[in-house]
């Protein structure tokens, strides 16, 4: 049996880092964790081939070779997914689809032969059994959540790791919180299910054996959802594992209450975490109450961010505009908060309502879903599937104002300085590679000579070099990120 695993292309968004990756000659951020995990669950004797459309092309030879095309995608990849399905069917291959996009909207894809939905630990085995017996059904789904203690190590050998800047692994699934716009709990549940420390170490060992020394992204939706397991087993194991290891800094996603736990913070930085993405959403307390973002309410969010930065974690932030309690003043409030907090990588999007969420159901009852428009999942295309109370045009104009402001060179670089003055990183031994030296040279040419930000670039260059030399590589990286963000805003934001 020949199995072709295809990962659709992402559009050019903030998270694609497409324009930044060119500086280090990488093709994509990370290989597709879900597909590589599914590949490890397939019969060992089957022949497998991975095509990540973010890193390579899907050829006609690939499609003609395949008996089955396995495809997994998120909502933002839906246009590319449709094209892959059409090409696969035209080439005579059967299509097996799974992942968040198809779990939520499988009815929108009539040409798919088999849907293996929800979590593959439960739905893939019956599909494989039926396939072997010649009676495979069209849809395999479940309302249960699997124990992930037996989830295998992803089949990293299928991916050309030289294409990527980071690799994703997963410790837990599920989130204890109930933000009404988030579909994580509808997909993965409220009770965080975790892998064992031994599983995580086995995955890291596999990557280290392959020569991987760059960043590892723990792709959990809330890494600290099960603090007890982290403190007692996983983080101590990571601290022990890191001894005598070079490189492989960790980053992840967590809720803001991480700032309340000095013990957990200390263990994470000792283990090698240096970056965390936090869903800040909004400085508007009424909007936080509206969307049930209970973990963010009633706290000094700026001080929480700075506490994380001082502990050694760069905070990346997610922000949303378009809540019912947002007034026209929210746009400047967001700008002011982002600047004051020193969150350099600030991802701002319009509120959208994913199917299956409480927000979606409420707006459906209120008649405030846009007829005929599904959620795009794209945080920079200026679209939304809801009818905002402030009016769509005002929302779009305010959104554009935020992005024009926070990524303007003088404002962006000021925020970089705010962050660098606060940040106290832990000591991780990095492996200096030729690509990073070349990236520095490219940044000097693109940003320091040709760029509209050249005066700001050189000020950051020399300030960091003489005042905080250990942060010099990070400063250049953030300068490159700023270039990427401005390109995205100029090319894609309507």
Mean pLDDT of 472-487: 96
Residue 427 has pLDDT above 90, yes or no: no
SS3 letters across 274-329: EEEEEEEECCCHHHHHHCCCHHHCCCCHHHHHHHHHHHCCEEEEEEEECCCCCCCC
Query: Any idea what the CATH number is for the domain that residue 367 is in?
Result: 3.20.20.70
Question: Helix 33-41 and helix 120-132: axis angle, to 10°?
Answer: 50
Instruction: Report yes or no: 391 and 350 within 8 Å, Cβ to Cβ.
Output: no
Does 427 map to a domain?
Answer: no
**Helix, strand, or coil (residue 145):** coil
**Percentage above 90 pLDDT, the chain:** 91
The whole-number pLDDT of residue 247 equals 87
Measured CA to CA, the distance from residue 8 to residue 75 in angstroms comes to: 11
DSSP state of 153: P
Measured CA to CA, the distance from residue 205 to residue 228 in angstroms comes to: 24
Residue 228's Cβ-side half-sphere holds a number of Cα atoms within 13 Å equal to 2
Does 154 map to a domain?
Answer: no
Instruction: Report yes or no: 421 and 474 within 8 Å, Cβ to Cβ.
Output: no
- Among 140, 173, 203, identify where a domain stops: 140
Query: Comparing 1-5, 243-247, 271-275, 303-307, which segment has the lowest mean pLDDT?
Result: 243-247
Same domain, 125 and 180: no
Same domain, 108 and 179: no
Measured CA to CA, the distance from residue 108 to residue 494 in angstroms comes to: 27
- Among 422, 454, 471, identify where a domain stops: 422
The whole-number pLDDT of residue 428 equals 57
Nearest Cα residue to 337 out of 325, 328, 346? 346
Does 132 map to a domain?
Answer: yes
Same domain, 346 and 199: yes
- DSSP assignment of 328-348, as one string? TTHHHHHHHHHHHHT-SSEEE
The whole-number pLDDT of residue 413 equals 98
Mean pLDDT of 328-343: 98
Is residue 431 very low, low, confident or very high in pLDDT (cuts 50, 70, 90)? low
- Say which residues have a Cβ less than 8 Å from residue 357's Cβ, sequence separation at least 6: 180, 181, 182, 183, 186
Tens-place pLDDT, residues 196-239: 999 999 999 999 999 999 999 999 999 999 999 999 999 999 99
Print the domain residue range for 305.
Answer: 165-422
Decide which of 400 and 375 is more confident: 400
Mean pLDDT of 397-406: 96
Average pLDDT, the chain: 95
Same domain, 244 and 265: yes
Tens-place pLDDT, residues 231-286: 999 999 999 999 988 889 999 999 999 999 999 999 999 999 999 999 999 999 99
Tens-place pLDDT, residues 55-97: 999 999 999 999 999 999 999 999 999 999 999 999 999 999 9
Residue 381 has pLDDT above 90, yes or no: no
Tens-place pLDDT, residues 439-448: 999 999 999 9
Query: Comparing 185-189, 226-230, 378-382, which segment has the lowest mean pLDDT?
Result: 378-382
Measured CA to CA, the distance from residue 210 to residue 105 in angstroms comes to: 37
Same domain, 227 and 353: yes
Q: Provide the number of structural domains found in the chain.
A: 3
Does 220 map to a domain?
Answer: yes
H or E element that contains 154: none
Same domain, 301 and 188: yes
The whole-number pLDDT of residue 436 equals 86
The whole-number pLDDT of residue 383 equals 86
- Among 422, 447, 478, identify where a domain stops: 422
Same domain, 463 and 357: no
Same domain, 410 and 439: no
Radius of gyration, alpha carbons of the chain: 22
Same domain, 206 and 298: yes
Instruction: Report yes or no: 478 and 7 within 8 Å, Cβ to Cβ.
Output: no
Same domain, 347 and 487: no
Does 159 map to a domain?
Answer: no
Residue 374 has pLDDT above 80, yes or no: no
Does 375 map to a domain?
Answer: yes
The whole-number pLDDT of residue 494 equals 58
The whole-number pLDDT of residue 429 equals 56
Is residue 491 very low, low, confident or very high in pLDDT (cuts 50, 70, 90)? confident
């Amino acid at each position: 049996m020949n199995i072709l695993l295809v990962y659709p292309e992402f559009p050019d968004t903030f998270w694609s880092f497409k324009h930044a990756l060119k500086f280090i000659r990488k093709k994509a951020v990370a290989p597709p964790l879900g597909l590589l995990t599914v590949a490890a669950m397939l019969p060992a004797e089957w022949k497998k081939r991975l095509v990540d459309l973010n890193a390579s092309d899907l050829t006609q030879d690939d499609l003609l070779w395949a008996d089955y095309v396995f495809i997994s995608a998120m909502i933002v990849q839906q246009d590319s997914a449709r094209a892959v399905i059409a090409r696969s069917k035209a080439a005579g291959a059967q299509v097996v689809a799974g992942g968040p996009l198809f779990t939520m909207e499988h009815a929108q894809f009539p040409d798919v032969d088999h849907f293996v939905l929800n979590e593959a630990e439960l739905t893939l085995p019956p599909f494989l059994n039926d396939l072997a017996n010649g009676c495979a059904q069209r849809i395999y789904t479940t309302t249960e959540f699997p124990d992930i203690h037996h989830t295998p190590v992803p089949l990293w050998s299928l991916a050309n790791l030289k294409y990527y800047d980071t690799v994703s692994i997963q410790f837990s699934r599920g989130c204890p919180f109930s933000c009404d716009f988030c579909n994580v709990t509808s997909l993965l549940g409220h009770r965080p299910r975790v892998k064992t420390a031994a599983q995580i170490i086995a995955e890291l060992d596999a990557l280290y054996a392959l020569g991987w020394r760059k960043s590892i992204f723990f792709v959990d939706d809330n890494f600290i959802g099960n603090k007890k397991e982290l403190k007692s087993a996983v983080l101590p194991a990571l601290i022990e594992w890191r001894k005598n290891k070079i490189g492989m800094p960790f980053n992840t996603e967590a809720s803001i209450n991480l700032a309340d736990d000095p013990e957990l913070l200390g263990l994470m930085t000792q283990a090698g975490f240096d970056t965390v993405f936090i869903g800040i959403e909004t400085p508007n307390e009424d909007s936080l109450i509206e969307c049930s973002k209970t973990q963010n309410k009633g706290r000094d969010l700026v001080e929480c961010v700075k506490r994380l930065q001082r502990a050694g974690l760069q905070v990346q932030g997610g922000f949303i505009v378009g809540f019912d309690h947002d007034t026209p003043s929210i746009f400047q409030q967001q700008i002011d908060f982002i600047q004051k907090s020193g969150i350099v990588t600030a991802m701002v999007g319009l509120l959208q309502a994913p199917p299956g969420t409480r927000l979606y159901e409420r707006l459906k009852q209120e008649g405030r879903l846009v007829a005929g428009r599904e959620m795009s999942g794209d945080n920079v295309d200026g679209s939304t599937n809801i009818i905002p109370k402030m009016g769509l045009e005002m929302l779009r104009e305010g959104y554009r104002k935020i992005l024009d402001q926070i990524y303007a060179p003088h404002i962006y670089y000021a925020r970089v300085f705010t962050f660098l003055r606060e940040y106290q990183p832990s000591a991780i031994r990095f492996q200096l590679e030729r690509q990073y030296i070349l990236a520095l040279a490219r940044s000097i040419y693109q940003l320091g000579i040709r760029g509209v930000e050249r005066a700001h670039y050189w000020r950051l260059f020399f300030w960091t070099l003489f005042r905080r030399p250990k942060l010099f590589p990070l400063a250049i990286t953030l300068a490159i990120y700023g270039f990427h963000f401005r390109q995205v805003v100029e090319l894609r934001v309507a």
